[in-house]
Structure 1
Amino acid sequence: MSVLDETASREGSGPSRPRMTQRQRAVLILLLSSTFLLAADLSLLNVAVPLIGDGLGFAVGDLQWIATAFALTAAGFTLFFGRVGDFFGRRMLFIAGMTLLVLSSLLGGVANDPTVLITARVLQGLATAMSTPAALSLLTTSFPEGPLRARALGANGAMVSAGFTVGAIVGGLLTDLLSWRWAFLINVPIGLVIIAFTPYLLAESKVARTARMDVPGAITVSTGLVSLVYGVSRAGEEGWADPFVLGCVVIGAALLVWFWRIELRAQEPLASVRILRKPTVRWGNIGGLVTITMQTAVIFMVTLYLQDVLGWSAMATGLAFAVLGVAAFLGGSFAPRIIGRIGNHRSLVTGMALQAVGPVGLVLVARQDSGPAGVTVLLALLSVGAFGHVTAVVSYMVTGTSGLPDEEQGLATGLATMTQQVALAVGIPVISSIATSRIHALEATHSESESVFSGVRLALAVDAGVVIVAVVVIVVFLRRVAEQRRVDMK
């Protein structure tokens, strides 16, 4: 049973069930197309990263910036642009974001050196930060609260998994048959079609507010994230004792603390951090931060292993990620049933425990010369991890928004979205810095393949360890919360 089936079963069936109008269907198709395109971008470029590095002269330790430059700007500015859309118009912001995506994709497709390509990725990240919150807001405002909106949001979530799966396959095909440049250029015609239909199908949407926009919060969170993640990324090459690295990390951490204090006082905060006083919200978001941060890094590390160690082609890597994408889609489909059977707290920690199977499996099973049998076992373990990851993501969203009155649901959802965006930004640079340090330590005495393999294994061992520790901590504290509730009820 799919997520939409679950929703339908709760809503009932028959003639009383509300139906979408033709215009609503057209609006849904348009917005889901943008969601699909943005999700596909992640896996399209994942499989092309090593070939991009070879084609433009990236050092192995710098490959992470192809992904990090995008994720960092997307996470750093999503909250800011979400509020810009509220004040100045979501349709306007959506069109601007999709236009920037087209232009930046064109720039990436014709890039002839690392600087131009990283610039294109930064601009793509900004485009995503503009388009994603605008598209989600337009989706919710285009459908009335209730069954229609629930089905639209369910379909939007399914498109994320579908986009990742199809993007992996298409990315491999385009890279092998044509060039890695088409992983960028394919966005251009699709984006132009979306832009052309938007003015005809979507009405402008904005909220009249008397309060000022939280500019100090936007500046501190964006600058803080950029500084912190940049420092962590450079630590892999320069070492943690480097003054510049330490300066970036300290400044970034200080700005994020300042952001927290600003949000506590702001009349219209970007993120309502006060709501973290609720135990379920706090531990749900911690679980979400860990599971998304660590799984993002797993995907990047596996890409390096398959292509730089085993020598797989981009097409073969894309097909491998398609298998993980199918497992992730199944996780999203079965997550509501799992939550209904064992509860959201248990499903969160169960999903996280299953997620750890993927990196643990690679550490224990992977070899430098793995044959078909070894790779098959490895992909099976990574698929278990992908299934658990999506189950954990759905569970953290439920946990982080449960036990709250209706008037606080929007705040909790916004906080969960911020957690997701921050996790996407920090996962690859944090874990890659561990791999990069190991690679640099061995490259003088070992072959490139041996160095990369050792770095990948160490990074994934740390990745799995973080997830397992988080599972134990969350189990302990959520159990205490449950026991306290039982005492209070008595």
Structure 2
Amino acid sequence: MTIDSPSLAPAPPAPPGDTAVHPTPARTPSAAPERLSTRAKLVLFVLCAAQFMIALDFSILNVALPVLGKDLGMGQADLQWAVTAFALPSGGFLLLFGRIADLYGRRKLFLTGLGVFAVASVLAALAWDPASFLAGRALQGLGAAIIVPTGMSLLTTTFPEGPQRERALGISGTLLSLGFTIGMVLGGAMTDTVGWRSTMGLLAVAGALVLLAAPKLLSESRHPQRPRIDVPGAITVTGALLSLIYGLSTAAQQGFGSLDVIVTLVAGVLLLAAFIAVESRSAQPLVSLKMLRRRSVAWGNLGGIATFSMMSTVVFLLTLYLQEVLKLSALQTGLIFGVQGALSAVAGVLAPKVIGRFGARNTLVGALLLQAVFTASLLGLGVASGAWLALVGVSVASVGHLGAIISYGVIATSGLPDDEQGLATGLVTSSQQVGITIGIPLLSALASAHVAVLRDGGDGFAASTLGGIKLGLGVDAAVVAVVAVLVAFGLSRRADGGVAVGGRTGGV
């Protein structure tokens, strides 16, 4: 059973076009007119509002952390837990909740997640000490782990493959990116005017409003046979994700040589290996290894991890550059990222049309290359000047980033039956969460080590800081470029019916 969806008419044959990946479909993709009905627009609005709210939560506290720490008595070294407490459950439980939603009802779980998130935001807003605040953040992360995969699977089962889904994913991707950007600007403004607690209060209100609107618009959908949950798989993959996210989130502060970091990263790798072994023997696996062998799923999600991890790192490193090297204010820094958000919004509108014209594969490869080139342009930043280059570089790189987000989502969820959409979108959103989590600690640790070397060599504060930032940006650009090439070859090779030629609109 799928969610009620307007105009599910048979799809016309796709016109010939560039070489593109077509996963062997489990169902014939049904197309619908590009125009959405009023009800479909309302459904899309509710689902995108939830995704926007989660994206906002990732960034709205960033500029408020110093004020928050002083208010609650948290030391500088402890402030990372405001981020880590959210990232651990939000990334660790995504796959599990995506699968539970497939089996027991996506709408039901989506509403549950909204309730948890709203209550958790109230707790965080009213926090009286570090423990109560971190408990609220962890519950917010748990709510996000439920909302994100269920919301995405509701979206992909509501809107059929083709123009409607591409448009829906375009809007969702745009709001996701805008949420990160607006969160930084809004968080600073609200903290300066009405205090950091207002940021958590805003999220509580947003969660309550979406929770009120969602039951009237969303219909239930689930796997028709309700197979059993793969408990060993759930335990091993959740443990692996929790260990890896914790280790990577704390590596930047403690260093990769810390015993705590080493133990958790090794445990994460071992649990991931155990998960793969369990899934290969399970009759009803949590994650179908057959699905992971689909070129569209594997290569699409690799592109997703790359674009999210590297773009979040660009924003982080540029924030340091603008405030620590150029000494710009938080407001000036926020305005630069505001321009980035505006161009991202334009890119989100245009990306579905580009996908329809050139195919999702070509769009993903081109978008990754655009992100890589303009990230590399930031190597021209200077100690005394560079604000305009930072503005142009990060903004155009973000245009590529948005194109990559939307096209990889189309690729990784195409050609799959409705009862696997929760798992597929769980993988997509896991790529987002893992990407956001791993990029900053890895490259910031690399940059910090280089800064220390430069300072030992006699460079001043600004010069050494810029040197470390440039090293991080250079590695960032190289990673994205390499992944673009890998995705281009991975999605164009013929193999056992998994790849075909042609297809623009509606095709991968």
In structure 2, give the amino acid aligned to 1:467: V
The 5 Å alignment of 1:402-481 reads: 404=415, 410=421, 413-438=425-450, 453-475=466-488, 477=490, 481=493
Q: AA paired with 1:466?
A: V
Say yes or no: does 1:101 pair with 2:117: yes
SS at match of 2:61: helix
C-alpha distance in 1 between matches for 2:68 and 2:462: 18
Higher relative contact order (CA 8 A, sep 6+): 2
- What is the CA–CA distance in structure 1 between the aligned matches of 2:250 and 2:58, rounded to whole Å? 23
Question: What code does the residue aligned with 1:421 have?
Answer: Q
- Residue 216 (structure 1) aligns with: 232
Cα distance in structure 1, aligned partners of 2:220 and 2:416: 30
Amino acid at match of 1:219: I
Match for residue 274 of structure 1? Answer: 290
Question: Which residue in 2 is equivalent to 1:133?
Answer: 149
Q: Which residue of 1 aligns with 2:378?
A: 362
Query: 3-state SS of the aligned residue for 1:48?
Result: helix
Q: Within 1, Cα distance between the matches of 2:444 and 2:75?
A: 13
Alpha-carbon distance between aligned partners in 1 of 2:399 and 2:182, rounded to the nearest angstrom = 17
Which letter does structure 2 place at the counterpart of 1:471?
A
| Deviation, structure 1 residue 129 | 0.7
- Measure how far apart 1:130 and its partner are: 1.4
- Aligned-residue identity in percent: 41
Q: Give the direction of change, closer, same or farther, for the CA distance of 1:434–1:213 in structure 2 (3 Å limit).
A: same
Q: Structure 1 residues 174-183 or 211-220, which shifts more?
A: 174-183
Structure 2 residue 278 is matched with structure 1 residue 262: yes
Is the contact between residue 185 and residue 335 of structure 2 (CA under 8 Å) also seen in structure 1? Answer: yes
> Pick from 239, 245, 254: which aligns with 1:229?
245
TM-score by length of 1: 0.80
Instruction: Specify the code of the residue in structure 2 equivalent to 1:231.
Output: G
In structure 1, C-alpha distance between the alignment counterparts of 2:161 and 2:355, rounded to whole Å: 23
The answer as to 2:259 corresponding to 1:247 is no
Contact 1:161 1:325 in 2 (8 A): yes
Partner-residue secondary structure (3-state), 2:123: helix
How many angstroms does 1:399 deviate by? 4.0
Instruction: Tell me the equivalent position of 1:186.
Output: 202
Structure 2 counterparts to residues 58-69 of structure 1, below 5 A: 64-69=80-85
User: 2:409 — aligned with what?
Assistant: 397
Is contact 1:290–1:423 with CA below 8 Å preserved after alignment? yes
Task: State the distance in 1 between where 2:125 and 2:138 align.
Answer: 14
Instruction: Give the conservation status (yes or no) of the 8 Å contact 1:233–1:433.
Output: no
| Contact 2:113/2:144, CA 8 A, preserved across alignment | yes
**Quick check: 1:19 aligned with 2:37?**
yes
> Which stretch of the first structure deviates more once superposed, 107-116 or 225-234?
107-116
Q: Does 1:379 align with 2:391?
A: yes
The aligned amino acid for 1:426 is I
Per-residue CA distance 1:13-72 (angstroms, 9 max, x = gap): 8xxx77345xx6554443333233223223423443455456667666665543343233
Other-structure match for 1:3:
none
Equivalent residue for 1:303, pick from 319, 337, 356:
319
User: Cα offset for 1:226?
Assistant: 1.9
Contact preservation (8 Å) 1:175, 1:315: no
Matched, 1:79 2:95: yes
2:400 to 388, 391, 394: 388
CA positional deviation for 1:126: 1.0
CA distance in 1, matches of 2:469, 2:72: 23
CA RMSD of aligned residues (A): 3.9
> What is the rounded CA distance, in whole Å, between the counterparts of 1:244 and 1:116 in structure 2?
24
- Equivalent residue of 1:269, what SS? coil
Equivalent pair of 1:76/1:422 in contact (CA under 8 Å): no
Give the distance between the partners of 2:190 and 2:122, measured in 1 at CA.
16
Cross-structure match for 1:40? 56
Residue 340 and residue 204 in structure 1: after superposition, are their counterparts in 2 closer, same or farther (change >3 A)? closer
Q: Which moved more, 1:322-331 or 1:233-242?
A: 233-242
Matched residue of 1:209: which SS? Answer: coil
Q: What is the CA-CA distance between 1:117 and the residue it aligns to? A: 4.0
| Structure with greater helix percent | 1
Is the 8 Å Cα contact of residues 68 and 428 (structure 1) preserved in structure 2? Answer: no
Deviates more, 1:392-401 or 1:322-331: 392-401
Q: After superposing the two structures, state which structure 1 stretch, 123-132 or 433-442, moved more.
A: 433-442
Equivalent position amino acid for 1:78 in 2: L
Distance between the aligned counterparts of 1:53 and 1:305, measured in 2? 23
The partner residue of 1:330 within 346, 361, 370 is: 346
Per-residue deviation at 1:224? 0.8
How many residues in Structure 1 have an aligned counterpart in Structure 2?
469
Find the counterpart in structure 2 of residue 348 from structure 1.
Answer: 364
Consecutive unaligned residues of structure 1, counting only runs of 5 or more, are 1-6
Is the CA contact 1:229–1:430 (under 8 Å) kept in the aligned structure 2?
no
